[in-house]
Amino acid sequence: MSLHETLEAYRKGNLELWCPIMTVYKEGSSNLIEYLGSGLIRQNEEQRLEFVLIEGSSAALFENLKRMLGNTAEIGKLLPPDKYYSLEATDLSGKTWKAERLLVNPYFGRAGIKVMGNIYLLDHTESSDSQNTAVELEIFSDIKLPLAEATKKTVSVGKNEFVSWQRNMATFKVGQCEFTITNKNGIITVVVTSENTSTPKYFETRIIEALQYITARTISWRILQKTGDGKSITCLRSPDDTSPPSQLSLPVDYIHADFEGKWIWMLFGKYLEHIYNFEAENRFEMHPLSAWLHYVRKTSAGSIFTRGLGLGTAVEGILECEFSKIGTLSQEDFRSIDEMIAHVKAFAGDENIRKRTIGALGSWRTIRAKDRLRILERSHIIRPEDMIAWDSIRNRAAHATPPEKEELQKWIDNCYKAEVLLNHLIFNAIGYEGEFTDYGKSNWPQSMYPCSRTVPS
- Lowest mean pLDDT across 156-170, 185-199, 220-234, 427-441: 156-170
Quote the pLDDT of residue 241.
Answer: 81
Chain-centroid distance of CA 357 in Å reads: 41
Whether residues 152 and 260 fall in one domain: yes
- β-strand partners of 65: none
Q: Which of 232, 262, 287 is the last residue of a domain?
A: 287
Residue 293 in any domain: the answer is no
Give the alpha-carbon dihedral of 443, 448, 452, 453, to 10 degrees: 120
pLDDT tens for 291-327 read 999 999 999 998 889 999 999 999 999 999 999 888 7
Read off the pLDDT band of 363 (50, 70, 90). Answer: low
Quote the pLDDT of residue 129.
Answer: 79
pLDDT at 455 over 60: no
Residue 457 in any domain: the answer is no
- The answer to whether the Cα torsion of 285, 286, 287, 289 is positive or negative is negative
Quote the pLDDT of residue 263.
Answer: 96
Whether residues 244 and 357 fall in one domain: no
- Lowest mean pLDDT across 145-154, 359-368, 432-441: 359-368
Domain carrying residue 14:
3-71+81-121
- Lowest mean pLDDT across 58-67, 116-125, 186-195, 213-222: 58-67
CB of 63 closer than 8 Å to CB of 33:
no
Quote the pLDDT of residue 315.
Answer: 96
pLDDT at 240 over 80: yes
Whether residues 313 and 425 fall in one domain: yes
Eight-state DSSP code of residue 286: P
Quote the pLDDT of residue 31.
Answer: 53
Whether residues 269 and 162 fall in one domain: yes
Whether residues 249 and 362 fall in one domain: no
Q: Which of 287, 322, 350 is the last residue of a domain?
A: 287
- Lowest mean pLDDT across 250-259, 390-399, 435-444, 448-457: 448-457
Whether residues 205 and 227 fall in one domain: yes
Residue 31 in any domain: the answer is yes
pLDDT at 348 over 90: no
C-alpha–C-alpha distance, residues 441 and 40, integer Å: 57
Whether residues 221 and 326 fall in one domain: no
Whether residues 275 and 326 fall in one domain: no
Whether residues 117 and 132 fall in one domain: no
C-alpha–C-alpha distance, residues 113 and 54, integer Å: 6
Tally of structural domains, the chain:
3
- Lowest mean pLDDT across 90-94, 112-116, 219-223, 234-238: 112-116
Mean pLDDT computed over every residue of the chain: 86
pLDDT tens for 59-118 read 454 455 445 544 555 667 777 777 889 999 999 999 999 999 998 888 877 667 889 999
C-alpha–C-alpha distance, residues 40 and 17, integer Å: 6
Write out the H or E segment, with its range, that includes residue 52. Answer: strand 49-55
C-alpha–C-alpha distance, residues 170 and 104, integer Å: 43
Whether residues 66 and 172 fall in one domain: no
Residue 211 in any domain: the answer is yes
What's the N-to-C CA distance of the chain in angstroms? Answer: 60
pLDDT at 370 over 60: yes
C-alpha–C-alpha distance, residues 233 and 87, integer Å: 17
Quote the pLDDT of residue 221.
Answer: 96
Going by their DSSP bridges, the two strands 149-157 and 133-140 should be labelled as unpaired
CATH number at residue 113: 2.30.110
- The answer to whether the Cα torsion of 242, 190, 18, 15 is positive or negative is positive
- The answer to whether the Cα torsion of 432, 433, 434, 440 is positive or negative is positive
C-alpha–C-alpha distance, residues 288 and 275, integer Å: 9
pLDDT tens for 153-182 read 676 776 677 666 677 899 999 998 999 999
Q: Which of 91, 106, 121 is the last residue of a domain?
A: 121
Residue 186 in any domain: the answer is yes
Whether residues 174 and 270 fall in one domain: yes
Strand (E) positions, 57-200? 85-90, 96-102, 104-109, 112-119, 121-127, 133-140, 149-157, 160-174, 177-184, 187-194
pTM, whole model, 2 decimals? Answer: 0.86
Quote the pLDDT of residue 453.
Answer: 41
Residue 294 in any domain: the answer is no
pLDDT at 42 over 90: yes
Quote the pLDDT of residue 191.
Answer: 96
Whether residues 253 and 339 fall in one domain: no
Quote the pLDDT of residue 231.
Answer: 87
Chain-centroid distance of CA 291 in Å reads: 7
